[in-house]
Amino acid sequence: MSDAPLMPKATAVWLVENTSLTFDQIADFCKLHPLEVKGIADGEVATGIKGYDPISTGQLSREEIAKAERRPDYRLHLSVSKVRTPEFKKPRGARYTPLSRRQDRPNAVLWLLRNHAELKDAQIMRLVGTTKHTLQAIRERTHWNSANLQPMDPVTLGLCSQIDLDFEVNRAAKDRPKVEEAGGQTLVSAEITTAKPTPAPASPFEVFGAPKPKPVEERIDVDTVFGKVKEPRVEE
């Protein structure tokens, strides 16, 4: 918890107007300079700011103020709130990039476009902190510094963490539709290609051990064949 009260300048205005505390006591409690508190009392500083009552908000008690008014060397202590304020967590989204690293963002964008083409534009913008216009210019090679850009890992540049990069890549891989090969052809497994051919089913004669019958040869009657040739043709 911070030692400074909420709205310190407005609190100082209220203490100047409603108490007989010294400038040093108010400055110490509100974390301001004594000359700034003196300027508030003279109407030169914080003009137009409405006083903020620290008693109604539970930051100070009347007994604490009365004790400090009796003892000019006493320093006010901020009251401990009985209500626990939950810790604020920064939502995931576009992060702030320091000025010293902003010039490296185009190089990081180029690296992501070349090495992770499955990433969507929104994911690249979220990882590096760039804009849609810059991303499109780098992709189409119309960026003003396109000739000097070199692909560089955004994790190495400190623009994002490896955990964030892996998270976006895995999510993009899940969203990508499965690509089927042309013609529906797939590779046959090695078990099928190396398997021995299945033997032909055995005949019933082989099963019961009986001898296989010999093929019947057709007998040709020679007299009948030549008799048809020698028979005279009858004219009508």
- Summarize pLDDT for 72-87 with one digit per residue, the tens: 899 988 887 655 555 5
The token pair that represents 40 in the structure block: 């508030």
**pLDDT single digits (tens) 40-59:** 888 887 777 888 899 888 88
Torsion over CA of 122, 127, 133 and 135, rounded to 10 degrees? -100
Segment holding 168, helix H or strand E: helix 162-175
Chain Cα centroid distance, residue 63: 53
Give the chain's residues under pLDDT 50. 1, 88, 90-91, 93-94, 180-183, 236
Please list, residue by residue across 126-145, b when 16 or more beta carbons sit within 10 angstroms of its beta carbon and e when fewer do: bbbbbeeebbebbeeeebee
pLDDT at residue 66, rounded to an integer: 92
pLDDT of 110 reads 92
Q: How far is CA 169 from CA 120, 124, 152, 202, in A?
A: 10, 10, 17, 58
Candidates 114, 116, 112; CA nearest to 154 is: 112
pLDDT at 63: 92
What are the tokens at 227? 């008799």
Q: Which of 3, 10, 7, 18 is nearest to 65 (CA)?
A: 18
- The amino acid that residue 49 corresponds to is I
